[in-house]
Amino acid sequence: MEEKRGLTVKDLLIRLILIIIFIFLLIWLFPMPDLKPLNNQIFADNLARMKDAAKSYYTIERLPRDINTSKRMTLKEMIDNHLILRLIDSKGNYCDENASYVQITKLENEYVIKVQLSCTDKKAYINEHYGCYDICSNECKMLETTTKTDKVTNKATTKGKVTTTKSIGKLFEYQFVKNECTDKFDKYVCPTGYYLVDNKCIKNGSETITKQAYKNVSDVTSTDTKNAKPVVSNTDKKEPASCKVTTLTSTIDATPSSSVTNEVLKGTKTVTADKKYTYDVKGAVGTVKKVTANYIKVQNYDVKTATQVVKGYKWTYVSTLISDKSNLAFENDTEKLVLVESKEQHTCKTCFTTEWIHKYYRYKKEIDGYTYSCNAFPNYELYDTNKCRRATNVTQKCPEGYNPDGSVCSKQEITYSCSKYGSGYKLDESKKTCTKTLGVSYSCPTGTRKSSDERYCIKDVYECPVGTKSIGGGKCSATTYSCPANTSTKTYTLNGTKCTVKSKVKVCSCPDDTVQTSDKLYCIKTNSNTTYSCEDYPGYTLNGKKCTKTTTSQKVTYTCDSGYILNGTSCIKTVNTSSTKNAEAIYKTFCEQKYKWSTQTSINGWDYTGNKREVK
């Protein structure tokens, strides 16, 4: 019996190659179908569904009423209003519901519906125009079929029938415009030095508080002691005092005195003389020349005020709320309360019980800026932030200074020249004159005299001696100082503006165990029998060899409360202050143009634009 063998590597490769060849044959015989037409059809069907839903929604009550105004609805709004189901593209993805929208705009005699669809496989839009029969109700159609002429049929006298038309007259509507302005809140402002918190202005500072210090009066006792005067008796020994002559030095102000001398002529100085020119002036000769330039093309625009649109909103912090309730958080269209922290804490510093405290932030919704749109004006583009413009006709104008001259612009230029008067004349363009310098003369300033060179003058120079100063009129002033004359006991020495005084005086002294007499010339040696007196010190009391006097006086001191600083008899304290006032609300005026059509020729408060239309 023959033994079975397994598949070799070679057999596997051969089979793999055959399978690959078979697949290529299938692709060649049966190519993949082109799915692009199918994808386009899906996109077109989605556009048509949006358009049909819009036409069914925009009845006559929902249509824009004024010319060049629009109404717009996103795909998301259509889905939310159950006008259409969500749209799926060829890749199975939902189309962008915010970028996709329908917009209907009213023109003079018709409406335009724009359908914009944005999907992952394609993004495009279509515009379709509709007359009143396409989009209005039967009531609108009936209004449009109202005739403006009557046909009257009369029998002719010669040939058959003649049809004549009797005109009832044309009916016109006139366009009017007016600016509607409203003041809208912009911001709060505070005076200088204040800072803003919500709608309040707060100013932190300091204030100095001054009040009278407390006066404290107390009695103070003091004792004055002087040496008593000994009373000399026959038993006391009196001897001459020891005297000597000594010199004392002091200083006094010297006596000033003034003297006047004549100034001293030092020499001469050369100064430049004053020039004076003489001229010959003639009128310049003008030559007229014609200069041409091409016209400048100017693009004109029809300009309208753009529509102000809120860019978005933002949440602004207002205040903080602390509560024991955990369910206070909320949010609505204008404000919200957000729970930011919850923590457990003791009910008091010495308590063991705890409670939960919840912290909330309160916010209010504010407008976060504005932008401008030209959607209300088809074919207009936004420029200069808040204006819409549309290019109109192109005109031509001449450059500045030029005037129209047939196919070109021209102007006359006048050039001036002095060539007629020969050389030496210079042109002054601003004055249109020709000037020639004829000569120059020189003169000396006051206080100087002529020199050998007429271009220069000589001035005498004076100077006062050192230590003096000029007082004008050729005079110098000097100040000298002197001291008093010397005497037998005093000598004076001048030292600048001071006098040094040396005085000779006699100074006497006594030994320590003696008492000097009042004339300082004798010394008395006392004994046990010596008595003392306080007769030279009235009010003093003898106490041994001393005279004493005790006096009691009142001492006044001042004190302040804690926190105050004593300043003389006042107490001063500086404290921090905070003042609050209502902030000033600033409003901005926002204006927009409103248009309306009326068969009236004037409307109070409205301006006629100059546009009119016939009511068909």
- At residue 206's C-alpha, the angle toward residues 203 and 208, to 5°, is 145
- Dihedral in degrees, nearest 10, Cα atoms 48, 50, 53, 56: -70
CA distance 72 to 80: 15
Chain segment 131-160, per-residue pLDDT in tens: 654 444 443 333 333 333 333 333 333 333
Q: Which tokens hold the place of 296? A: 């400048």
pLDDT above 90: residue 75: yes
pLDDT above 80: residue 5: no
Greatest extent of the chain over all pairs of C-alpha atoms, in Å: 192
Chain segment 460-498, per-residue pLDDT in tens: 887 887 778 877 777 888 888 889 999 888 899 999 889
pLDDT above 90: residue 363: yes
Q: Which tokens hold the place of 461? A: 């120079």
pLDDT above 60: residue 521: yes
Q: Which tokens hold the place of 103? A: 């917009």
Q: What percent of the chain has pLDDT over 70?
A: 87
Using a cut of 0.85, tell me whether the model's pTM lies above it: no
Q: Which tokens hold the place of 164? A: 């004549």
Give residue 138's pLDDT: 40
pLDDT band at 337 (very low <50, low <70, confident <90, very high): very high
Give residue 32's pLDDT: 56
Chain segment 37-56, per-residue pLDDT in tens: 667 888 888 999 999 898 88
CA distance 315 to 366: 6
- Pairing state between β 387-397 and 161-167: unpaired
pLDDT band at 387 (very low <50, low <70, confident <90, very high): very high
Give residue 398's pLDDT: 93
Residues 270, 461 contacting (CB under 8 angstroms): no
Chain segment 304-313, per-residue pLDDT in tens: 999 999 888 8
Q: How far out from the chain centre does Cα 456 lie?
A: 60
Q: How far is CA 517 from CA 510, 523, 546, in A?
A: 9, 6, 16
pLDDT above 80: residue 235: no
Q: How far is CA 182 from CA 377, 403, 465, 583, 592, in A?
A: 22, 46, 87, 21, 9
Give residue 481's pLDDT: 86
Chain segment 82-121, per-residue pLDDT in tens: 889 899 888 888 999 999 999 999 887 788 899 999 998 8
pLDDT band at 74 (very low <50, low <70, confident <90, very high): very high
Give residue 303's pLDDT: 92
pLDDT above 70: residue 260: yes
pLDDT above 70: residue 3: no
pLDDT band at 241 (very low <50, low <70, confident <90, very high): confident
Residues 218, 554 contacting (CB under 8 angstroms): yes
Give residue 261's pLDDT: 76
pLDDT above 80: residue 183: no
Q: Tell me, what amino acid is at 418?
A: C
pLDDT above 50: residue 275: yes
- Pairing state between β 490-495 and 584-598: unpaired
pLDDT band at 534 (very low <50, low <70, confident <90, very high): confident
Q: What percent of the chain has pLDDT over 90?
A: 17
Nearest alpha carbon to residue 304 among 373, 371, 370, 369? 373
Give residue 131's pLDDT: 64
pLDDT above 70: residue 349: no
How far does the chain reach from its first CA to its final CA, in angstroms?
A: 108
pLDDT above 90: residue 410: yes
CA distance 385 to 366: 22
